[in-house]
Amino acid sequence: MSAIKQKFSYLLTAFMLLFATAAHSAELREVTVELQDDHYYLKSEAWLDASKEDIYRVLSDYDLYVQISSGFVESRNEEADSDGKPRFYTRMQGCVLLFCKSFERHGYLILEPHTDIVAIVDPEESDFDFSRESWELVSEGDGTVMIYNFEMDPGFWVPPVIGPYYIKRTLRRGGKDAIRRIEALAKALSPVD
C-alpha cells in the first residue's frame, strides 16, 4: 500500500471512529476484575451494533490495536510460526503515579473464524509470565455479544498497594472506550451493500 493510501486509510478510520463514538450503540453490560496471588482476571460482556464477522475481522488484526486502545503504542501482525499459527506483537505503556513502564507481548493466536479468538503470550519473549485473552462472539438481535476473558501474571514489578488498584481500575475503565472503538472499526470495515 502506498504511503498516501495508507495515510488516507488512517484518516478515514480516525474520522469513522470520531463519528461512531459520537453515535455509538455499544453497551458494556458487565465487567469484573479480580486479583488473586498476583494473578489478574478480567471478564466482560458487551453488546456491539456490528456483525460478529466484522468484529472478528477487527479483533484478529493486530495492526488495528493501536486504534482500539490508547494503551497500545505499537501493535502488528507477525509472520505465522512453523505450525502456521498467526503471531502478534504489542507494546503497551502505562504509568502509576511517577512509575512508568513499557510492556511487550509476543504471542500466537488460535482462531475459530467469526466466533472465537484466543491470544496466548510467549513468556520467553514478553514482559508477562502468563497472559491469555479470549473473545467469544455470539449474534444477538441486530448485533453481537462479545464475551472477553483476560488472565495475566505480570513478569515485572508492580508497586505494592497502588499498583494492583491502578491495574484493576485501568482494565475496568479501558473497556468502555475499547468496545466503542471496536464497534466503530467494525462498521468502518464492513463491506458496503
**Residue 51 contacts residue 190 (beta carbons within 8 Å):** yes
Q: Give the model's pLDDT for residue 132.
A: 98
The three grid cell numbers given for residue 41, joined into one nine-digit string: 482476571
Handedness of CA 113, 75, 80, 155 (dihedral sign): negative
Q: What is the total count of domains within the chain?
A: 1
Longest dimension (CA), the chain: 53
Q: If DSSP codes are grouped into helix, strand and coil, which group holds residue 85? A: coil
DSSP state of 190: S
- pLDDT given for residue 11 in this prediction: 37
Range of the domain at 173: 3-189
Q: Is the dihedral of CA 123, 124, 127, 129 positive or negative?
A: positive
- Using DSSP, how many helices (H) and how many strands (E) does the chain show? 4, 8
pLDDT in tens, 90-139: 999 877 667 678 999 999 999 999 999 999 999 999 999 999 999 999 99
pLDDT at 43: 92
Q: List Cα–Cα distances, 89 to 7, 28, 61, 69, 72, in angstroms.
A: 22, 26, 11, 15, 10
Q: Which of the residue ranges 26-30, 47-51, 146-150 would you say has the lowest mean pLDDT?
A: 26-30
pLDDT band at 192 (very low <50, low <70, confident <90, very high): low
Least confident of 54-58, 100-104, 181-185: 100-104
| Average confidence score pLDDT of the chain | 84
Query: Strand (E) positions, 37-126?
Result: 39-48, 72-78, 87-96, 99-112, 116-121
Q: Of 162 and 180, which is predicted with more confidence?
A: 180
Q: Rounded to two decimals, what is the model's pTM?
A: 0.81
Between 23-37, 63-77, 178-192, the lowest mean confidence (pLDDT) is in 23-37
Domain harbouring 161, CATH code: 3.30.530.20
Does 2 score more than 60 pLDDT? no
Residue 85 has pLDDT above 80, yes or no: yes
- Cell for 130? 502468563
59: confidence class by pLDDT, cuts 50, 70, 90: very high
